[in-house]
């Protein structure tokens, strides 16, 4: 479980394509000694399991993206040098600064507008039709692992506004119109909708 508060911007150091998925080596500021093998780290909004780690040529850890992950995300397109939003898993007693994020990507959203206003940016996204009903004005949404507040919703489009701190702590300045990002809708919204559906059955 995560909060959507990015704590490092990692760099994809190497990729190994295999029949059953992709092995990713990610350079990080995290101390590998503090990372357990089998631990979960959220990479661009995707909960992935650490399979190896090291300190040669800088700190790094390995994760494996299975075929199912490749099918619902853009991990298959990632190339060495890419900057990646990272978050360690939540510990009991940690401050919950964002909202509850599972790291299980629901779908992909496309950037349709980007408005730069000094050192702030507003993005407009287009979400899949089946997920847009879970996105509400002033509600929470996780985009590439970042917990963000929705400004407005019109049909299957919605906007978020990124302040200077968020821009400096994440890789969001890298994104442009046409780029596709990992979308996780608010868990509570999904359960609320399911409860309503159950009552109507």
Task: List pLDDT tens digits, range 30-47.
Answer: 999 999 999 999 999 999
pLDDT at 199: 66
> Are 52 and 115 in a shared domain?
no
DSSP single-letter state for residue 89? P
Q: How many domains does the chain have?
A: 2
134 in a structural domain: yes
30, 56, 88: which is the final residue of a domain? 88
146 catalytic per annotation: no
Please tell me which residue in 47, 65, 109, 142 is annotated as part of the active site. 47
- Could you tell me the two tokens for 196? 């309503």
Task: Output the pTM of the full model.
Answer: 0.90
30, 61, 88: which is the final residue of a domain? 88
> Are 64 and 118 in a shared domain?
no
**pLDDT > 70: what percent of the chain?**
93
- Could you tell me the two tokens for 131? 């997920």
31 in a structural domain: yes
d(CA 77, CA 37): 25
d(CA 76, CA 118): 34
The arithmetic mean of pLDDT across residues 145-173, rounded, is: 97
> Are 50 and 115 in a shared domain?
no
> Are 192 and 157 in a shared domain?
yes
CATH value at residue 82: 2.40.30.20
159 catalytic per annotation: no
Q: Burial letters for 25-52: b for 16+ Cβ neighbours within 10 Å, e otherwise?
A: bbbbebeeeebeeeebbbbbbbbbebee
72 in a structural domain: yes
pLDDT at 197: 67
94 in a structural domain: no
55 catalytic per annotation: no
166 catalytic per annotation: no
> Are 128 and 171 in a shared domain?
yes
Q: Is 68 helix (H, G, I), strand (E, B) or coil?
A: helix
**Count, residues in the chain:** 201
Query: Which structural domain range is residue 60 located in?
Result: 8-88
- For the segment 98-126, what is each residue's pLDDT rounded down to a tens digit? 778 899 999 999 999 999 999 999 999 99
191 or 165: whose pLDDT is higher? Answer: 165
> Are 14 and 75 in a shared domain?
yes
pLDDT at 198: 67
pLDDT at 186: 84
The arithmetic mean of pLDDT across residues 42-69, rounded, is: 96
Please tell me which residue in 66, 136, 169, 189 is annotated as part of the active site. 66
47 catalytic per annotation: yes
- Residue linked to tokens 């349709």: 112
57, 88, 119: which is the final residue of a domain? 88
> Are 112 and 73 in a shared domain?
no
């Amino acid at each position: 479980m995560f909060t959507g508060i990015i704590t490092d911007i990692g760099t994809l150091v190497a990729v190994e394509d295999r029949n059953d998925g992709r092995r990713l080596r990610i350079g990080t500021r995290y101390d590998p000694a503090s990372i357990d093998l089998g631990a979960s780290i959220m990479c661009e909004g995707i909960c992935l399991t650490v399979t190896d780690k090291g300190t040669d040529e800088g700190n790094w850890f390995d994760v494996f993206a299975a075929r199912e992950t490749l099918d619902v995300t853009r991990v298959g397109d990632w190339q060495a040098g890419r900057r990646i939003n990272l978050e360690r898993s939540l510990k009991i007693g940690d401050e919950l600064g964002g909202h509850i994020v599972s790291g299980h990507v629901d779908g992909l959203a496309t950037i349709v507008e980007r408005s730069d206003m000094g050192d702030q940016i507003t993005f407009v996204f287009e979400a899949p039709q089946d997920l847009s009903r879970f996105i509400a004005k002033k509600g929470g949404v996780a985009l590439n692992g970042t917990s963000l507040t929705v400004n407005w919703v019109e049909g299957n489009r919605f906007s978020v506004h990124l302040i200077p701190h968020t821009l400096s702590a994440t890789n969001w300045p890298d994104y442009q119109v046409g780029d596709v990002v990992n979308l996780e809708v608010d868990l509570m919204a999904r359960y609320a909708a399911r409860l309503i559906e159950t009552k109507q059955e």
